[in-house]
Every structure is written in C-alpha cells, then in structure tokens.
Amino acid sequence: MKKLITYVMMNANRRSGTNPEPAHPTLPQHHPKQWGQAVVEFALASTMIFFLLAAVVDLGLIYFTLQALRVAAQEGAVYGSYPHAVKDTDGNITELVIPYAEIANRVYWAAGDQGNGFANLRDLDGNGVNDDVQSPKLYDQDSVATDPNGYIYVENLSGFDTNDLQPSCVGDERGRGLQAGGSGCWIRVTVRYEYRFFFPFAPVFGNTVRLQASHLMPMRSQYYTTP
C-alpha cells in the first residue's frame, strides 16, 4: 500500500511540473558566519605557513654560510701553520713569526675575486662595502687578526692537550717552540660574518646575526735550531 501511495504522489508531481528535492539531513548547511570563519582560519594558517617557510629558507642559508666560513677559516689556518723566518744579514734565523696580515688576506680571498656565494667573505661586516676597499683598510692591518672581537681572529697557542691550550708558542728562542719544528704549537683561525636575514620577519631578532667558524691545526714548522 505504501508503495502504491508513493507511486501515485510521484506521478502527480510529474504532471504538475514540480519535483522538490527532499532535504538530506546529513548535508551541511552553509551560513554566512561559516564562510567568515573559514576566511579567518585560512588567514591564520597561511601566516604560520609563511613564517615556517621563511625560517626554513633562512636556516638553509645560514647552514651554507657556515660552510663557507669553515672553508675560509681552514684556508687561513693552513697558510698560517707555516711560520715565516726572519733572518739576519748572515742568513741566520733570528725569529719565526706568524703572518697575521697574510692570513687575513687568505680568508678574505678564499671565495675568489668576487667573494660571492652564500657569504661575501670580502664584506664580513655586512655594510655593503668590501673590506679591502674601505677606509681605513681592514685587511692589511695586523690588528684585524689579533683582536679577539674582530671578524678575523688568529690565535697562536701552545700545549699538547687541545682542550687546554694556552697562549702562546714562542718563535724567538732557539731550540724551542716554533724553532723546534713547531712541537706543541697550534694555530686557530676564527672567522665571523654578519648574516642578514633573507626574511626579516621577527624584529625581536633584528635584521642580522653574527655567525662564526673556527679551525684549529698544529703548526708545521720546518725549522729546527739548536740552543
């Protein structure tokens, strides 16, 4: 009987030209308030995604910048591990010295003529002007490599325990230190760089952060003198 009534009602609807769709109880009902809520949620989510993307980009650039600084520090340490000999008029060695200015030059030019890449090693202070053309010039002053807070810091160290090294290894005494084949002598080169954030999204951190890398290696003096 129920089937017959339903069939009759459907035929009547067809003849009258109306075919109303029954409301489905499980379909969502869209209201203006729900659309507004979706817009707000999208704005919040997209902001968080942007910040995460910015953080990932900057962390990646920081990683590659540190790699460039490590290479530059190693370049300077390798060059500085060979002390230069100072001789008298008779050709006798009077002193062995560490070429601080030349080490700084090696660091500055470790990335080539352009100094480009993830870190511009010729502009360590990040002021937009290459350090070798600044006035006063920084790269040819010994103080730039002996200042503990400078962008390039060279340490002359002595000891046999790398965890307890002390300054410094003597180079002006015959049969000791640098004049004994560099036994117990070490050199450490530290390079610092002002990294500028690619996405300066957080003013609390500032626009730049100072990165640094160091390389420690034994002195490789080929000079042996007798007391």
Segment 142-194, tens digit of pLDDT = 567 888 888 899 999 999 998 999 988 888 888 888 888 888 999 999 999 99
Q: Which residue has the higher pLDDT, 38 or 180?
A: 180
Domains in the chain: how many in total?
1
Domain containing residue 137: 69-218
12, part of any domain = no
Say which amino acid occupies 167. P
CA distances from 107 to 143, 146, 147, 179 (A): 15, 14, 15, 26
17, part of any domain = no
Say which amino acid occupies 78. V
Longest dimension (CA), the chain: 130
Q: What percent of the chain has pLDDT over 90?
A: 22
CA distances from 200 to 50, 62, 120, 126 (A): 12, 14, 19, 15
pLDDT band at 114 (very low <50, low <70, confident <90, very high): low
Say which amino acid occupies 181. G
pTM for this structure?
0.74
Say which residues have a Cβ less than 8 Å from residue 182's Cβ, sequence separation at least 6: 81, 83, 169, 218, 219, 220, 221
Phi/psi of residue 31, nearest 5 degrees: -125, 155
pLDDT band at 202 (very low <50, low <70, confident <90, very high): low
Q: Which residue has the higher pLDDT, 79 or 146?
A: 79
91, part of any domain = yes
165, part of any domain = yes
30, part of any domain = no
177, part of any domain = yes
Q: Give the chain's mean pLDDT.
A: 79
46, part of any domain = no
Residue 138: predicted pLDDT: 56
44, part of any domain = no
Matching residue, tokens 């002195």: 219
